Chains A and B, each alone.
Chain A
């Protein structure tokens, strides 16, 4: 059987990060090919290359043996490649039929042929086994499972020969997943190839034919049998690392160290429930879990950026008012959010303004800013954290990811914060700078700050944290010292249903 798609030696670099470093992937017509890898392994980037959203810096893509250039999403669609993303790219206010034919509406002389669109939309939906979806309903009023079917119908309306599905089961309940699998099997019997991305191993066992494993932007194994390959082997392939990060040594947390942060029974319906833990001064607590497990939500709720439905957050024994960022900041809590650029930084402003934005009061007399004091304080911190380039009047936009993260940390250091919440502190930070950030985080803890760390990289959580909380679907499934658990066990806990001793 010839391969429908062959990708060889795909390389994609972003400033400071080599997201893909020689990826190979071959997909056959009519198979479900599973793509496996930890967060940051390069799956999303690979899909963006495949669907024409990113151009690779090196490597070749062949479809049916012919080398092709996918230089735009349109080019990819014309080659029969379609993708269904986690955040569905549908227009909620248009009808089902309109969404299916968006961009290629049946038309004559510029007038859309609505009847034809309706009929053909119905045919396609029936072909997917979902003839019950009303084609005139607006897509926004459908449940997410229905929206996913519409997304697939759109792909088929373009005669897609290869459909990429990025964690399609994440938004579905078990019954809907069974339905999804039925649809996928229907597609493959027609010769359509499916590239299936999921973190849930038991799904891969059920629907997949072959597996390709990505790690650190490169293919580590390809063409594995989806049913026969042992779980242990898959996890080993995903985790065994070629790059060793240097984690600073842990420090003994004295039992006399005061408890700074107490989280008790924190709950937000639909996101997480009954989360509780305590963090002492100088201690680092790591939250591990998949995207959607509620880890970032827990952090943002502690910070007051989301309002807790139940439970409490105490800092130094004082209960924080729920849903109030101000209260948290005043109590000495700082947050380095997940989306650094959109949630933390004023990109076009100078470094020093980004550092002082949370502490302006300190430099103000009667509302007037003391520009020199502000500059000096920011410069001193930037120097202490070794923010490069030296000098605090460059726009933050021009800094590398690691240095931007240092600017965010400097912001909270300036406030002398006692609790620091770090959400994905090394996302977008290149490998060399990571050790530096790790050293910095450990140093902060040594200075008595209580730190809560969220990371999708299990190794990072285990290497840095003193205590580990593992979250799955909004529940804490494990709490304990970091030394007592290893990466495999955490991954087991995180990926439901795949028990490895």
Chain B
């Protein structure tokens, strides 16, 4: 029918073209958009690397050290990708660390390991993924259909999942004896650790999902204005559940990666991951109130934090000093973000 609609005939009454956005050049628009924010992040990361090179050049700028940074970034990075979806969709997930712990414990029980030894390590992986996704499903159902606010629902999951992990493991660290598992995930491919490959893969898939699919577009809509999304015919509740399942699934993947890195499953795994992930997502430029999110920003955010840790460690500075620096970075990043957002809306 749209073809039949021509422009209104009486142009004399068309006096309303008063609000015209200022003509922005391509470069300023790029700077104000996601690209601009990412440029700021990249600059921050480069500065951090420069500090590393100056203060500990001989150890910092080595291939081995860079791979160490990436390996450390990989686990929290995957969690943060999932968190990016949840936050962009207008939610929050405090239970990610606990889900990682529970998935790692469940996937390394004697029974699971026995099965894995008899058949294939894929059983351990699928156990971890299933546990993560199931926890996410519970979160999502509680939030979307039970109308529990995300903060409380996932806080409850935080407590319950870690408690369950302690019960299952009897608070003991479970050593992984399935060598094929350790060999595969501990290994390298073309000189790059498998863990880093997984991170890259998850990040790439996350980017495509968020930016190139209907699922991603609906995530922005649901997070930006849930009521408008509902009235536009989007199944907001179902979509919310899917987002938390996705978050849980990422925790399952992270659990597998952590199991490989530490060769253990433990109820203490993933401690404070929720805070690290939220921090990375937020400094990356994802809006905590939902509706705006960037995978690239999240990845750089994770890299900034991991590099910071690395530089501090190489300079023999305490963990406490790292925490102070981390706090400062979060505040500065968010202050900058708000300025940018205010400028974008006041045009």
For A400, give the chain B residue with the smallest CB separation.
B19
Stretch touching chain A among B5-13, B38-46, B137-145, B300-308: B5-13
Let me know if A435 is at the binding interface, CB within 8 A: yes
Are the CB atoms of B2 and A380 closer together than 8 Å?
A: yes
Stretch touching chain B among A47-55, A198-206, A354-362, A481-489: A354-362
Taken together as a complex, chains A and B put the C-alpha atoms of A436 and B4 apart, in Å, by 16
Are the CB atoms of A344 and B231 closer together than 8 Å?
A: yes
Are the CB atoms of A361 and B214 closer together than 8 Å?
A: yes
Cross-interface CB contact of B18 among A16, A325, A329, A443, cutoff 8 Å? A16
For B223, give the chain A residue with the smallest CB separation.
A346
For A415, give the chain B residue with the smallest CB separation.
B233
Q: Mark B270-288, 1 if CB is under 8 A from A, else 0.
A: 0000000000000000000
Taken together as a complex, chains A and B put the C-alpha atoms of A82 and B14 apart, in Å, by 41
Are the CB atoms of B232 and A357 closer together than 8 Å?
A: yes
Are the CB atoms of A346 and B212 closer together than 8 Å?
A: no
Cross-interface CB contact of A443 among B5, B17, B21, B227, cutoff 8 Å? B5
Are the CB atoms of A432 and B16 closer together than 8 Å?
A: yes
Let me know if A454 is at the binding interface, CB within 8 A: no
Q: Mark A392-436, 1 if CB is under 8 A from B, else 0.
A: 001101111011000000010110100000000000011011011
Are the CB atoms of B232 and A353 closer together than 8 Å?
A: no
Which residues 459-488 in A have Cβ within 8 Å of B in the complex? none
Are the CB atoms of A368 and B232 closer together than 8 Å?
A: no
Are the CB atoms of B1 and A413 closer together than 8 Å?
A: yes
Q: Mark B233-262, 1 if CB is under 8 A from A, else 0.
A: 111000000000000000000000000000
**Known contacts A357-B234, A367-B215, A385-B5: A398-B347 contact under CB 8 Å:** yes
Stretch touching chain B among A36-44, A168-176, A179-187, A335-343: A335-343
**Known contacts A346-B291, A368-B213, A447-B4: A386-B231 contact under CB 8 Å:** no
Are the CB atoms of A325 and B230 closer together than 8 Å?
A: yes
Are the CB atoms of B6 and A384 closer together than 8 Å?
A: yes
Q: Which residues of B contact A416 (CB under 8 A)?
A: 1
Which residues 315-347 in B have Cβ within 8 Å of A in the complex? 344-345, 347
For B1, give the chain A residue with the smallest CB separation.
A447
**Known contacts A367-B213, A416-B1: A389-B225 contact under CB 8 Å:** no
Q: Which residues of A contact B230 (CB under 8 A)?
A: 305, 325
Cross-interface CB contact of A397 among B16, B214, B345, cutoff 8 Å? B345
For B215, give the chain A residue with the smallest CB separation.
A367
The distance from the CB of B234 to the nearest CB of chain A, in whole angstroms, is 7
The distance from the CB of B298 to the nearest CB of chain A, in whole angstroms, is 19
Let me know if B30 is at the binding interface, CB within 8 A: no
For A447, give the chain B residue with the smallest CB separation.
B1
**Known contacts A325-B233, A369-B217, A439-B8: A430-B20 contact under CB 8 Å:** no
Q: Which residues of A contact B225 (CB under 8 A)?
A: 342, 345-347
Are the CB atoms of B228 and A346 closer together than 8 Å?
A: yes
For A329, give the chain B residue with the smallest CB separation.
B233
Are the CB atoms of B228 and A342 closer together than 8 Å?
A: yes
**Known contacts A400-B19, A413-B2, A436-B16: A357-B231 contact under CB 8 Å:** no
Are the CB atoms of A358 and B291 closer together than 8 Å?
A: no
Cross-interface CB contact of A344 among B7, B17, B232, cutoff 8 Å? B232
Q: Mark B208-232, 1 if CB is under 8 A from A, else 0.
A: 1000111101101100110111111
Let me know if B37 is at the binding interface, CB within 8 A: no
Taken together as a complex, chains A and B put the C-alpha atoms of A443 and B225 apart, in Å, by 30
The distance from the CB of A308 to the nearest CB of chain B, in whole angstroms, is 17
Are the CB atoms of A435 and B13 closer together than 8 Å?
A: yes
Taken together as a complex, chains A and B put the C-alpha atoms of A441 and B213 apart, in Å, by 33
Let me know if A58 is at the binding interface, CB within 8 A: no
Q: Which residues of A contact B217 (CB under 8 A)?
A: 353, 357, 360, 369
Let me know if A496 is at the binding interface, CB within 8 A: no
Are the CB atoms of B233 and A436 closer together than 8 Å?
A: no
The distance from the CB of A29 to the nearest CB of chain B, in whole angstroms, is 43
Count, chain A residues at interface, CB 8 A: 63
Taken together as a complex, chains A and B put the C-alpha atoms of A150 and B291 apart, in Å, by 39
Q: Which residues of A contact B179 (CB under 8 A)?
A: none
Are the CB atoms of A346 and B224 closer together than 8 Å?
A: yes
Cross-interface CB contact of A388 among B16, B220, B221, B291, cutoff 8 Å? B16
Q: Mark A304-331, 1 if CB is under 8 A from B, else 0.
A: 0100000000000000000001101110
Taken together as a complex, chains A and B put the C-alpha atoms of A411 and B233 apart, in Å, by 11
Taken together as a complex, chains A and B put the C-alpha atoms of A130 and B228 apart, in Å, by 43
Let me know if B292 is at the binding interface, CB within 8 A: yes
Are the CB atoms of B232 and A413 closer together than 8 Å?
A: no
Are the CB atoms of B13 and A357 closer together than 8 Å?
A: no
Q: Which residues of B contact A330 (CB under 8 A)?
A: 233
Are the CB atoms of A15 and B19 closer together than 8 Å?
A: yes
Let me know if A348 is at the binding interface, CB within 8 A: yes
Are the CB atoms of B16 and A400 closer together than 8 Å?
A: yes
Let me know if B25 is at the binding interface, CB within 8 A: no
Are the CB atoms of B10 and A246 closer together than 8 Å?
A: yes
Q: Which residues of B contact A397 (CB under 8 A)?
A: 345
Are the CB atoms of B14 and A348 closer together than 8 Å?
A: no
Q: Which residues of A contact B28 (CB under 8 A)?
A: none
Are the CB atoms of B347 and A360 closer together than 8 Å?
A: no
Are the CB atoms of A357 and B1 closer together than 8 Å?
A: no
Are the CB atoms of A16 and B19 closer together than 8 Å?
A: yes
Which residues 196-249 in A have Cβ within 8 Å of B in the complex? 246
Are the CB atoms of B231 and A403 closer together than 8 Å?
A: no
Taken together as a complex, chains A and B put the C-alpha atoms of A353 and B227 apart, in Å, by 16
Taken together as a complex, chains A and B put the C-alpha atoms of A436 and B14 apart, in Å, by 7
The distance from the CB of B208 to the nearest CB of chain A, in whole angstroms, is 8
The distance from the CB of A247 to the nearest CB of chain B, in whole angstroms, is 12
**Known contacts A364-B213, A384-B7: A411-B232 contact under CB 8 Å:** yes
The distance from the CB of B165 to the nearest CB of chain A, in whole angstroms, is 34
Are the CB atoms of A343 and B227 closer together than 8 Å?
A: yes
Which residues 177-221 in B have Cβ within 8 Å of A in the complex? 208, 212-215, 217-218, 220-221
Taken together as a complex, chains A and B put the C-alpha atoms of A364 and B213 apart, in Å, by 7
Q: Which residues of A contact B228 (CB under 8 A)?
A: 342-346
Let me know if A440 is at the binding interface, CB within 8 A: yes
Are the CB atoms of A305 and B231 closer together than 8 Å?
A: yes
**Known contacts A303-B231, A380-B2, A386-B14: A349-B224 contact under CB 8 Å:** yes
Taken together as a complex, chains A and B put the C-alpha atoms of A37 and B115 apart, in Å, by 78
The distance from the CB of A349 to the nearest CB of chain B, in whole angstroms, is 6
Q: Which residues of B contact A192 (CB under 8 A)?
A: none
Which residues 1-48 in A have Cβ within 8 Å of B in the complex? 15-16
Q: Which residues of A contact B213 (CB under 8 A)?
A: 364, 367-369
Let me know if A451 is at the binding interface, CB within 8 A: no
Let me know if B15 is at the binding interface, CB within 8 A: yes
The distance from the CB of A185 to the nearest CB of chain B, in whole angstroms, is 42
Give the 7 A-B CB pairs with smallest separation, nearest first.
A432-B15, A329-B233, A433-B16, A384-B5, A360-B214, A400-B19, A388-B17
A-B contact pairs, 28 of them (CB 8 A): A305-B230, A326-B235, A343-B231, A344-B231, A345-B228, A346-B224, A347-B224, A348-B345, A357-B221, A357-B234, A358-B234, A360-B214, A367-B213, A367-B215, A368-B212, A369-B214, A384-B6, A388-B20, A394-B21, A398-B19, A398-B21, A399-B19, A402-B16, A429-B16, A430-B15, A432-B15, A433-B16, A435-B10
Which A residues lie at the B interface, using CB under 8 A? 15-16, 246, 303, 305, 325-326, 328-330, 335, 337, 342-349, 353, 357-358, 360-361, 363-364, 367-369, 371, 380-381, 383-386, 388-389, 394-395, 397-400, 402-403, 411, 413-414, 416, 429-430, 432-433, 435-436, 439-440, 443, 447-449
